[in-house]
C-alpha cells in the first residue's frame, strides 16, 4: 500500500448535540432527528430508533430507486410509461391517472415528488420492476444495503400496513442517499406546476411540503400522512455551505409538523457551520503509474472532505492518510483508486472518503517503453 500522510487543520467533535432528555426544542412530534447531510452527523435526536409507520415518506426510497435507474442509464426522463389498471386504481393521494394513458418518467416523477401521487409511484414501480411486489423487494434490498435495520417496506407508496415501518434515523439515512442524486431537487423544490393529460386538460400540482415556499432554503423532500402514522415530514434545506436533513414522525397536525421542522432547521442553522477541510478540486499529490504512458498522476478526493462545527468552534489538528493500491494503466478518469482516512488527534479514524484520478491514463505501447528506455539510458550518460 502506498500512503501519503498530509497534515491539515482540524477535526473536532465537541459539538453540543441536543437530545430528547431535557429537550429545549419542545417538539410535539413523537420522533425526530436533525442530521448534517454531508457528514451524516446527528445534531439532534428524539426517539430516533422508534419504529413507526412512515406514510408517504416511503416515496423517498421509491424515488431513490428511480433516480438510480436514471443515473445508471437504465431509465430516461423521456421514457414512456403506460398506466395500468392497478396503478389507476390506487387510493390515497393521487393525480387521477387513467388506465391506458401514457406519461413520461419526467411527468410521473414530478407527480410523486410534488403531489405525493400513489398512482404515479405504482406506475413507476411497474415500469422498473414489472410488478409492485418485485419493486418492493428492491426497496427492502436497498434498505439492507444501506444498513437500515429498523425499516421494512410492504408497498411503494406508504398506505398503512402492519409490515410497513421505519424510524427517524433510517429515514434521514435514506434522504441522505437520495440527495446524492442532485437532480431530484429539481422536482422536490417545485411548489406548484401542472400535469398535462393526454386529452389536453391539466391537473394543478401543489407541493404537500409547504415549507418549500415558506422556509428559506428548503428544497425537499417528502411529507406523509395516514391515520396510523400521523403527520410526518422528511425535509432538507441548504444555506451557504450547510445542508441539513430533518425528520419528524407522528406529529399531531400538519401545522405542528411544519413548526417542528422549522424549529429543527433553525436550531441547526443557528448552531452549526460547515467547514471544508480539503477540496475535491485540489490535488493530494502525485502517485506512480505502472504500465502507463505517463509515469505519475495527480490524485484527488471524490468529494470535499468536510466537518460540522458549532458556530463558536475553531478547528484543531488532524491527519489525512491517503491509501492507494498500485495504479496500473489503463485507468479511466473518475476511477476510484483508493481511500482517504481522516484521523483525529488520538489516532482514531473518524471518516473515510474515496480517492480518484481526474484524467484518462492510457496503457503504454512498445514505442512508449522504447522512449522511456532511451530517456533512462541517456540520463545516465
CATH number (domain holding residue 201): 3.40.710.10
Question: Dihedrals φ, ψ of 105, to 5°?
Answer: -60, -40
pLDDT averaged over every residue in the chain: 90
In a domain, 287, yes or no: yes
> pLDDT for 281-307, tens place per residue?
999 889 999 999 999 999 999 988 888
* Size of the chain in residues: 381
- 226 with 103, same domain? yes
> Does residue 298 share a domain with residue 335?
yes
**Predicted local confidence at residue 346, as pLDDT:** 82
Any idea what DSSP says for residue 151? -
- Whether residue 271 is contained in a domain is answered as no
Whether the Cβ atoms of residue 219 and residue 188 lie closer than 8 Å to each other: yes
Average pLDDT over residues 189-199: 96
**What is the C-alpha to C-alpha distance for residues 113 and 204, in angstroms, rounded to an integer?**
14
Give the CATH number, domain containing residue 311. Answer: 2.60.410.10
Q: What is the mean pLDDT of residues 63-83?
A: 98
Determine, yes or no, domain membership for 7. yes
Q: Are residues 66 and 118 in the same domain?
A: yes
Does a structural domain hold residue 295?
yes
Grid cell locating 342: 481522516
Mean pLDDT of 310-328: 85
What whole-number distance in Å separates Cα of residue 260 and Cα of residue 245? 13
pLDDT digits (tens, 9 = 90+) for 364-373: 876 655 565 5
Average pLDDT over residues 137-153: 98
- pLDDT of 12 > 70? The answer is no
Q: Are 245 and 328 part of one and the same domain?
A: no
Assess whether 191 and 302 both reside in one domain.
no
> Which domain does 305 fall in, by range?
2-11+277-379
What percentage of the chain carries pLDDT values higher than 70? 90
pLDDT at 374 exceeding the cut of 70: no
265 in a structural domain? no
pLDDT at residue 189, as a whole number: 98
If one counts the domains in the chain, the total is: 2
Q: Do 175 and 322 fall within a single domain?
A: no
Using 50, 70 and 90 to split pLDDT, how confident is the model at 16? Answer: very low
Average pLDDT over residues 86-101: 94
Note whether residue 261 is domain-resident.
no
Answer whether residue 262 is part of any domain: no
Give yes or no: residues 246 and 337 share one domain. no
**Percent of the chain topping pLDDT 90:** 77
| pLDDT at res. 364 | 85
Q: Judge if 88 and 198 occupy the same domain.
A: yes
* Mean pLDDT for the stretch of residues 204-233: 97
pLDDT band at 234 (very low <50, low <70, confident <90, very high): very high
Q: Are residues 178 and 282 both part of a single domain?
A: no
Q: Are residues 237 and 320 in the same domain?
A: no
Q: Which residue has the higher pLDDT, 83 or 15?
A: 83
Catalytic residues: 56, 59, 116
Amino acid at each position: 500500500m502506498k500512503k501519503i500522510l498530509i497534515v491539515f487543520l482540524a477535526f473536532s467533535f465537541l459539538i453540543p448535540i441536543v437530545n430528547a432528555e431535557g429537550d429545549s426544542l419542545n417538539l410535539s412530534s413523537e420522533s425526530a432527528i436533525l442530521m448534517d447531510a454531508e457528514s451524516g452527523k446527528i445534531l439532534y435526536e428524539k426517539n430516533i430508533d422508534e419504529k413507526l409507520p412512515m406514510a408517504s415518506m416511503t416515496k423517498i426510497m421509491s424515488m431513490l430507486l428511480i433516480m438510480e435507474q436514471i443515473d445508471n442509464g437504465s431509465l430516461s426522463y423521456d421514457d414512456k410509461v403506460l398506466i395500468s389498471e392497478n396503478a389507476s386504481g390506487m387510493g390515497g393521494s393521487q393525480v387521477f391517472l387513467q388506465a391506458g394513458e401514457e406519461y413520461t418518467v419526467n411527468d410521473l416523477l414530478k407527480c410523486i415528488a410534488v403531489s405525493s401521487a400513489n398512482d404515479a409511484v405504482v406506475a413507476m414501480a411497474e415500469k422498473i420492476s414489472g410488478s409492485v411486489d418485485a419493486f418492493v423487494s428492491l426497496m427492502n434490498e436497498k434498505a439492507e444495503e444501506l444498513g437500515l435495520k429498523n425499516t421494512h417496506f410492504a408497498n411503494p407508496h406508504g398506505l398503512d400496513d402492519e409490515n410497513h415501518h421505519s424510524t427517524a434515523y433510517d429515514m434521514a439515512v435514506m434522504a441522505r442517499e437520495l440527495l446524492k442524486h442532485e437532480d431530484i431537487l429539481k422536482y422536490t423544490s417545485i411548489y406548484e406546476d401542472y400535469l398535462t393529460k393526454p386529452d389536453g386538460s391539466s391537473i394543478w400540482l401543489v407541493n404537500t411540503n409547504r415549507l418549500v415556499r415558506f422556509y428559506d432554503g428548503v428544497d425537499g423532500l417528502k411529507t406523509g400522512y395516514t391515520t396510523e402514522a400521523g403527520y410526518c415530514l422528511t425535509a432538507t434545506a441548504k444555506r451557504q455551505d450547510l445542508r441539513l436533513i430533518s425528520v419528524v414522525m407522528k406529529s399531531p397536525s400538519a401545522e405542528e409538523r411544519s413548526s417542528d421542522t422549522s424549529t429543527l432547521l433553525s436550531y441547526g442553522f443557528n448552531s452549526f457551520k460547515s467547514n471544508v477541510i480539503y477540496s475535491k478540486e485540489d490535488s493530494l499529490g502525485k502517485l506512480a503509474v505502472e504500465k502507463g504512458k505517463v509515469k505519475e498522476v495527480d490524485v484527488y478526493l471524490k468529494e470535499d472532505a468536510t466537518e460540522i462545527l458549532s458556530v463558536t468552534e475553531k478547528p484543531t489538528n488532524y491527519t489525512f492518510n491517503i491509501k492507494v493500491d498500485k495504479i496500473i494503466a489503463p485507468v479511466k478518469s473518475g476511477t476510484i483508486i483508493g481511500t482517504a482516512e481522516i484521523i483525529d488527534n488520538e489516532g482514531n479514524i473518524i471518516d473515510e472518503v474515496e480517492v480518484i484520478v481526474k484524467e484518462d491514463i492510457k496503457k503504454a505501447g512498445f514505442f512508449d517503453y522504447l522512449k522511456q528506455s532511451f530517456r533512462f539510458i541517456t540520463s545516465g550518460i
